[in-house]
C-alpha cells in the first residue's frame, strides 16, 4: 500500500481556532446498564484529542458504537463522561450528530473545548458502504461538514469501512491523520518484511470479515497457516461436514452467517492444506466446561460450542512454535465466561512466543487485559482493519486521505 507519508498529519494542521471533526473509534464492550465496560479505546485517542485541545482547536468528536440491533448499540453519553475524566477537562455531549442541535453545539465551541456528538450509526446511512463521492452526499456529511474547517481521522479500527463518517467528510473538508492512525500505518505497513512462516489466527465472531481476509492472504501467499477458532472455527467445522448441533447452528444462522459456510467450504477446497480446524470444542454441561472431540459431536441439543479444547490447543501450539510471525484477531471462545476463557488464554500466550506477534481487535484487547496477557510485539487498536492491512490491501478511509479533498 502507499506510504503513509503521503497523508497530511496533525503536523500539517494549523489548529488554533480551527473547528475540527475528529473521527475516533471508541467502539467498546458495554455493561448491562448500557454504559462503558472498558475504556481502552478511549485511552488510545487521548493523545490526539489532548494535542488538538492544547493547540487551541475546537473539537467535535464523531464515533460509532455497536451495530444496529445489537446489545452494544448505545448512546455515546457515557463515553463523553469517561473522556472528560481522561482529558481532565469538561467534555460536552449532544444527543444529535448532524441536526441543528449538533451544528449549534459545534458552532458554540471555544478554542480548546470538546464535544462528543451522538453515535453516528443511529442514522441508517452510516451503516452502509459508499464510494467517497456518494458518501459525501449523505445527510450526515452534508449536515455537519458546513460547520467543520478540518477533519481528522484517528479511527484506525474502522478504516476498513467505507462509511460516510470515514470517507465522506475528507472528500469535502481537508483531511488529516490523527496520531493513532499515523502510528498504526507506520507499524503495520511492513507485513511483507516480517519473518516467515506467517501464521494467521482468525477467531472471534465477525465471520464474513475473517473469510474475506483468509481468501486474500491465502491467494497472495502471505499466510503459511490459518488457524481458526471462535465462531469462525465453528463455521469452518460445519463447512467441513462436522455436525456442531442445533445450538451452534442456530447461533450462526441468527447472526446472518449461514451463507459463510459455503464460502468456508470453497476456501477449504482451494487451500485446505493451509487451514487448521479445531479438533475439539468445549460446551457447557451441568454448569461446567465439558470438552468433546469432533468425532464425539454433535453435543446435546442446547449445548453450543463455546471454546476450543486441549487437543486443538496442542495442535495449534505445534504450528505456532515454528512461526516467524503470528497475526491474531478474535478470541478463541466466549472468554467473558470463566469456564470458556481457557482457549483464548492458552492460544494468545502461545502466540506471544513468536519472534513477531501482532494482535488486534476491540474484544481481543479486552481479552488481553482480562486475562493479563502481555508480550505481543504490537497490540493494534483495530482487529478487522489490522487484518485488512496485513493482507497488503488499501484501507478505504486511508485512500481517501491520500487522495485529498475536492476543491
> Residues marked as binding for ATP?
336, 361-364
Q: Which residue in the set 227, 362, 370, 391 belongs to the binding site for ligand ADP (CB under 6 A)?
A: 362
Task: Measure the CA–CA gap between 357 and 353, rounded to whole angstroms.
Answer: 8
Segment near ligand ADP (CB under 6 A), from 8-16, 32-40, 91-99, 356-364?
Answer: 356-364
Residues within window 224-243 making contact with ligand ADP, judged by CB under 6 A: 230-231, 234
**Residue 345 interacts with ligand X15 (CB under 6 A)?**
no
Picked from ligand ADP, ligand X15, none, the partner binding residue 224 (CB below 5 to 8 A depending on kind) is none
Give 363's contacts (C-beta < 8 A, 6+ positions apart): 29, 204, 330, 331, 383
The secondary element (H helix, E strand) that includes residue 114 is strand 114-116
Minimum distance of ligand ADP from residue 174's CB (angstroms): 31
Segment near ligand ADP (CB under 6 A), from 54-62, 63-71, 118-126, 359-367?
Answer: 359-367
Q: Which residue in the set 382, 388, 390, 397 belongs to the binding site for ligand X15 (CB under 6 A)?
A: 382
Segment near ligand X15 (CB under 6 A), from 6-14, 157-165, 167-175, 269-277?
Answer: 157-165
Binding residues for substrate, by number, are: 25-27, 41, 64-67, 121, 161
Segment near ligand X15 (CB under 6 A), from 96-104, 154-162, 349-357, 369-377?
Answer: 154-162
Task: Measure the CA–CA gap between 45 and 81, rounded to whole angstroms.
Answer: 15
Q: Of the candidates 168, 222, 220, 170, which has an alpha carbon nearest to the alpha carbon of residue 193? A: 222
Residues within window 16-45 making contact with ligand X15, judged by CB under 6 A: 25, 27
Minimum distance of ligand ADP from residue 229's CB (angstroms): 7
Task: Measure the CA–CA gap between 106 and 58, rounded to whole angstroms.
Answer: 8
Q: Which residue in the set 364, 380, 381, 391 belongs to the binding site for ligand ADP (CB under 6 A)?
A: 364
**Residue 67 interacts with ligand X15 (CB under 6 A)?**
yes
**Residue 255: all three cell numbers together:** 447472526
Cα–Cα distance list, 230 to 284, 292, 367 (Å): 15, 15, 13
Q: What are phi and psi of 172, to 5 degrees?
A: -120, -10
- CB neighbours of residue 254 within 10 Å: 9
Three-state secondary structure readout of 63-89: CCCCCCCCCCCCCCHHHHHHHHHHHCC
**Residue 13 interacts with ligand ADP (CB under 6 A)?**
no
Beta bridge partners of 35: none
Picked from ligand X15, ligand ADP, none, the partner binding residue 161 (CB below 5 to 8 A depending on kind) is ligand X15
Q: Which residue in the set 97, 120, 329, 380 belongs to the binding site for ligand ADP (CB under 6 A)?
A: 329
* Backbone φ/ψ region at 402: left (φ over 0), alpha (ψ -120 to 50), beta: alpha
3-state helix, strand, coil split of the chain in percent (to 5) is 45, 15, 40
Q: Which residue in the set 306, 323, 326, 351 belongs to the binding site for ligand ADP (CB under 6 A)?
A: 306
Beta bridge partners of 328: 201, 359
Enumerate binding residues for ligand X15 (CB under 6 A). Answer: 25, 27, 67, 157-158, 161, 206, 361-362, 382-384
Enumerate binding residues for ligand ADP (CB under 6 A). Answer: 204-206, 230-231, 234, 305-306, 329-331, 333-334, 336, 361-364, 383
Amino acid at each position: 500500500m502507499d506510504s503513509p507519508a503521503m497523508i497530511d498529519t496533525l503536523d500539517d494542521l494549523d489548529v488554533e481556532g480551527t473547528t475540527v471533526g475528529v473521527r475516533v473509534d471508541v467502539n467498546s464492550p458495554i455493561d448491562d446498564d448500557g454504559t462503558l465496560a472498558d475504556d481502552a479505546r478511549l485511552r488510545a485517542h487521548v493523545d490526539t484529542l489532548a494535542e488538538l485541545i492544547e493547540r487551541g482547536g475546537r473539537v467535535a468528536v464523531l464515533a460509532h458504537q455497536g451495530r444496529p440491533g445489537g446489545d452494544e448499540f448505545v448512546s455515546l453519553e457515557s463515553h463523553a463522561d469517561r473522556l472528560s475524566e481522561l482529558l481532565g477537562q469538561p467534555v460536552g455531549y449532544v444527543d444529535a450528530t448532524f441536526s441543528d442541535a449538533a451544528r449549534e453545539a459545534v458552532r458554540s465551541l471555544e478554542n480548546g473545548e470538546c464535544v462528543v456528538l451522538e453515535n453516528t450509526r443511529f442514522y441508517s446511512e452510516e451503516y452502509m458502504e459508499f464510494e467517497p463521492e456518494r458518501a459525501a452526499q449523505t445527510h450526515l456529511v452534508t449536515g455537519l461538514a458546513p460547520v467543520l474547517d478540518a477533519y481528522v481521522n484517528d479511527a484506525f479500527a474502522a478504516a476498513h469501512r467505507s462509511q460516510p463518517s470515514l470517507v465522506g467528510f475528507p472528500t469535502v473538508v481537508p483531511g488529516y491523520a490523527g496520531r493513532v492512525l499515523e502510528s498504526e500505518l507506520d507499524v503495520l505497513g511492513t507485513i511483507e518484511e516480517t519473518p516467515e512462516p506467517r501464521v494467521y489466527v482468525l477467531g472471534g465472531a465477525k465471520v464474513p470479515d475473517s473469510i474475506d481476509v483468509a481468501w486474500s492472504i491465502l491467494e497472495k501467499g502471505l499466510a503459511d497457516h490459518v488457524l481458526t477458532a471462535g465462531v469462525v472455527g465453528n463455521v469452518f467445522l460445519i463447512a467441513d461436514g462436522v455436525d456442531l448441533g442445533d445450538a451452534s447452528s442456530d447461533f450462526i444462522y441468527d447472526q446472518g452467517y449461514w451463507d459463510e459456510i459455503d464460502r468456508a467450504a470453497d476456501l477449504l477446497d482451494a487451500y485446505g492444506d493451509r487451514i487448521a480446524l479445531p479438533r475439539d470444542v468445549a460446551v457447557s454441561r451441568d454448569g461446567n466446561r465439558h470438552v468433546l472431540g469432533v468425532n464425539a459431536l454433535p453435543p446435546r441439543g442446547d449445548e453450543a460450542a463455546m471454546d476450543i479444547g486441549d487437543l486443538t490447543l496442542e495442535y495449534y501450539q505445534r504450528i505456532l512454535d515454528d512461526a516467524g510471525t503470528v497475526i491474531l484477531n478474535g478470541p478463541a471462545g466466549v472468554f467473558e465466561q470463566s469456564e470458556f476463557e481457557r482457549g483464548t488464554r492458552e492460544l494468545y500466550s502461545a502466540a506471544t512466543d513468536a519472534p513477531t506477534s501482532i494482535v488486534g481487535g476491540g474484544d481481543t484487547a479486552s481479552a488481553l487485559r482480562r486475562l493479563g496477557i502481555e508480550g505481543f510485539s504490537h497490540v493494534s487498536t483495530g482487529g478487522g482493519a489490522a487484518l485488512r492491512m496485513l493482507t497488503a490491501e488499501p484501507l478505504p478511509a486511508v485512500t481517501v486521505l491520500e487522495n485529498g479533498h475536492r476543491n
